[in-house]
């Protein structure tokens, strides 16, 4: 290789060294909404970026883990195979090979959509597995030939089997085994280098950032040490599930990047299910807004209780509309497949290969394509940078608010319609598409339009458990 002049080398280094870059690479500039396309195969994700996510304003897609994983035909190829890494090869997973992965990244980038990888780096496999991984690598619980051996794992010496039992004990949560998964010694330089090697391989294929799985089970300092080994800045959001009274808190991870705010979806569900929407007036979770990634539900919480999911239909759409229209946090939209049991994997071939997604068929629920949710992504982008104003509520389950002079939203979760009311907005006078019920394209609206007068007022009827959304990006005239 031809040698570069020293000065030029320094300049180039300055451009790529993590220390020279901002501490955190934020999500995509004007488009920050992320969608979790849970279990979609690589080909389908690339297509969705091109056909829907890009055109409709989604900024990023969170994909399921791309590394070699255990294969469990005896359990019917559960989705959670993916959370048991066998190696860091991208060659062959249930969702496609390395070439398909790279093609997906290119397709998403061509559509202006960033790719965030669900990175499983706290652990390897559970003791119950052992054998051959999805790409043909041999393995057993503490032996991954060429990668990790017994000395690269924590052996915490607790509870008889090294499993985590007591979440009130910091040492145990970070050094023992999460559901028997062999816990990597993330304090060791060797392990940090291997993990960074995996993440850097993904960065070399072009991915834009990482959801760091099981972050609570790794000390924040270990994550910082791994981050310092990255070849370029990447957007990081860490999975640290808040637990009341626990010593390890989401807040202690904010120095590394963003954090998934699990309190948000629970509180939102509580307000919708058992309280009143009027309480949303000051809605926020404890994490700083610019550090919080918020979501109604994810693949874990939707299999538990206390959150809203696609099964809640209209109410779920209203909750997502609120999340996308409100100012708190960076929204992450969930996109699911339906399941008969918590373990059931996505639609697949008889050998456990995930089949291509066709939305609204074959268990694919595609919440991100629901009219209200997809159109509120456009609303979210149009009102970016504005504050909440013109709040109104009926003291119960009907609320309305504006976002500066850019948008206005009404949510009615009452069992009856709210009719004949006039609403005060700060919108410029004109005629707007109600994107709750119509799509705006080519200057026209497929649904009803509403006219805002010179004083910012318009009149509307809003049906029970329904809403209305106007914004300057969907102004007809």
- Point out which residues bind Ca ion (CB under 5 A): 122, 174, 183, 217
Under rule CB under 6 A, residue 68 binds ligand LM2: no
Residues of this chain, 288-317, that bind ligand LM2 according to CB under 6 A = 300
183 binds, among ligand LM2, Ca ion, none (CB under 5 to 8 A by kind): Ca ion
Minimum CB distance to ligand LM2, residue 332 (Å): 13
Of the candidate residues 120, 147, 182, 287, the single one contacting ligand LM2 (CB under 6 A): 120
Minimum CB distance to Ca ion, residue 188 (Å): 12
Please measure the distance between the N-terminal and C-terminal CA atoms of the chain and give it in whole angstroms: 59
Minimum CB distance to ligand LM2, residue 138 (Å): 18
Under rule CB under 6 A, residue 72 binds ligand LM2: no
- Residue 213 annotated in active site: yes
Under rule CB under 6 A, residue 183 binds ligand LM2: no
The DSSP bridge partners found for residue 153 are 184
- The one catalytic residue in 68, 118, 239, 258 is 239
Under rule CB under 6 A, residue 345 binds ligand LM2: no
Which helix (H) or strand (E) covers residue 318, if one does?
Answer: helix 313-325
CA nearest to 136, candidates 77, 189, 89, 192: 89
The answer to whether the CB of 421 falls within 8 A of the CB of 459 is yes
Minimum CB distance to ligand LM2, residue 210 (Å): 13
DSSP 3-state assignment of 315?
helix
Nearer to Ca ion, 174 or 256 (CB): 174
The DSSP output letter for 81 is: G
Residues of this chain, 128-157, that bind ligand LM2 according to CB under 6 A = 128
Under rule CB under 6 A, residue 439 binds ligand LM2: no
400 binds, among ligand LM2, Ca ion, none (CB under 5 to 8 A by kind): none
Residues 417, 74: Cα–Cα separation, whole Å: 51
Residues 143, 476: Cα–Cα separation, whole Å: 63
Residues 196, 200: Cα–Cα separation, whole Å: 6
Nearer to ligand LM2, 214 or 372 (CB): 214
Under rule CB under 6 A, residue 214 binds ligand LM2: yes
68 binds, among Ca ion, ligand LM2, none (CB under 5 to 8 A by kind): none
Under 8 Å CB-to-CB from 141, ≥6 apart: which residues? 124, 125, 126, 127, 129, 130, 182
Residues of this chain, 77-106, that bind ligand LM2 according to CB under 6 A = 80, 83-84
Of the candidate residues 68, 152, 208, 239, the single one contacting ligand LM2 (CB under 6 A): 239
Residues 391, 167: Cα–Cα separation, whole Å: 41
What phi and psi values does residue 377 have, to the nearest 5 degrees? -65, -40
Residues 173, 222: Cα–Cα separation, whole Å: 14
- Alpha-carbon torsion 10, 15, 18, 19, what sign? positive
- The one catalytic residue in 213, 222, 258, 261 is 213
128 binds, among Ca ion, ligand LM2, none (CB under 5 to 8 A by kind): ligand LM2
Nearer to ligand LM2, 303 or 384 (CB): 303
Minimum CB distance to ligand LM2, residue 181 (Å): 5
Minimum CB distance to Ca ion, residue 126 (Å): 14
Nearer to ligand LM2, 62 or 412 (CB): 62
Nearer to ligand LM2, 80 or 237 (CB): 80
Of the candidate residues 68, 172, 213, 414, the single one contacting ligand LM2 (CB under 6 A): 213
Residues 197, 149: Cα–Cα separation, whole Å: 17
108 binds, among Ca ion, ligand LM2, none (CB under 5 to 8 A by kind): none
Under rule CB under 6 A, residue 223 binds ligand LM2: no
- Residue 118 annotated in active site: no
Nearer to Ca ion, 174 or 336 (CB): 174
Give residue number: closest CB to ligand LM2.
126
The answer to whether the CB of 223 falls within 8 A of the CB of 201 is no
Residue with tokens 């004949």: 420
Give residue number: closest CB to Ca ion.
217
| Composition of the chain by helix, strand, coil, percent to 5 | 30, 25, 45
Strand runs labelled E in 64-167: 114-119, 123-126, 131-132, 138-139
332-370 CB burial, b ≥16 within 10 A, e <16: bbbbbbeeeeeebbbbbeeebebeebebeeeebbbbbbb
Q: By CB under 6 A, name the binding residues for ligand LM2.
A: 80, 83-84, 120, 126, 128, 178-181, 213-214, 239, 300
Residues that are catalytic: 213, 239
């Amino acid at each position: 290789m031809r040698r570069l002049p020293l000065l030029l080398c320094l300049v180039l280094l300055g451009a790529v060294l993590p220390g020279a870059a901002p501490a955190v690479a934020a999500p995509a500039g004007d488009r920050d909404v992320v969608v979790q396309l849970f279990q979609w195969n690589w080909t389908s994700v690339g297509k969705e970026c091109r056909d829907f996510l890009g055109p409709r304003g989604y900024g990023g897609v969170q994909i399921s883990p791309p590394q070699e994983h255990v294969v469990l035909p005896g359990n019917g190829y559960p989705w959670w195979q993916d959370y048991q890494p066998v190696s860091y090869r991208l060659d062959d997973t249930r969702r496609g090979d390395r070439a398909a992965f790279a093609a997906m990244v290119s397709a998403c980038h061509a559509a202006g959509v960033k790719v965030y990888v669900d990175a499983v780096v706290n652990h390897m496999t559970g003791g119950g597995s052992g054998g051959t991984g999805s790409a043909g690598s041999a393995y057993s619980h503490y032996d991954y030939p060429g990668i990790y051996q017994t000395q690269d794992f924590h052996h915490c010496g607790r509870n008889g089997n090294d499993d985590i039992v007591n979440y009130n004990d910091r040492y145990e949560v970070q050094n023992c085994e999460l559901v028997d998964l062999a816990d990597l010694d993330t304090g060791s330089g060797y392990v940090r280098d291997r993990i960074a090697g995996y993440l850097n391989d993904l960065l070399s294929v072009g991915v834009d950032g990482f959801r760091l799985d099981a972050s609570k089970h790794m000390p924040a300092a270990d994550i910082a040490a791994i981050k310092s080994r990255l070849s370029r800045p990447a957007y990081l959001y860490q999975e640290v599930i808040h637990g009341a009274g626990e010593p390890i808190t989401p807040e202690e991870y904010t120095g590394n990047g963003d954090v998934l705010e699990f309190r948000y979806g629970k509180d939102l569900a509580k307000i919708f299910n058992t309280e009143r929407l009027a309480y949303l007036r000051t809605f926020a979770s404890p994490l700083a807004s610019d550090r919080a990634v918020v979501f109604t539900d994810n693949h874990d919480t939707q299999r538990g209780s206390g959150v809203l999911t696609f099964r809640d239909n209209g109410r779920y759409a209203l909750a997502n509309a609120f999340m996308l229209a409100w100012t708190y946090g960076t929204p992450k939209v969930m996109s699911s497949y339906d399941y008969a049991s918590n373990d059931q994997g996505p639609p697949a071939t008889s050998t456990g290969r995930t089949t291509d997604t066709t939305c609204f068929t074959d268990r694919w629920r595609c919440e991100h394509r629901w009219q209200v949710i997809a159109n509120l992504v456009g609303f979210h982008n149009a009102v970016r940078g504005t504050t909440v104003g013109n709040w109104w509520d009926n003291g119960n389950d009907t609320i309305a608010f504006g976002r500066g002079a850019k948008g206005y939203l009404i949510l009615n979760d009452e069992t009856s319609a709210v009719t004949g009311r006039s609403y005060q907005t700060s919108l410029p006078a004109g005629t707007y598409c109600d994107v709750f019920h119509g799509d705006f394209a080519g200057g026209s609206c497929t649904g009803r339009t509403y006219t805002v007068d010179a004083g910012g007022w318009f009149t509307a009827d809003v049906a029970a458990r329904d809403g209305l959304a106007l914004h300057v990006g969907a102004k007809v005239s």
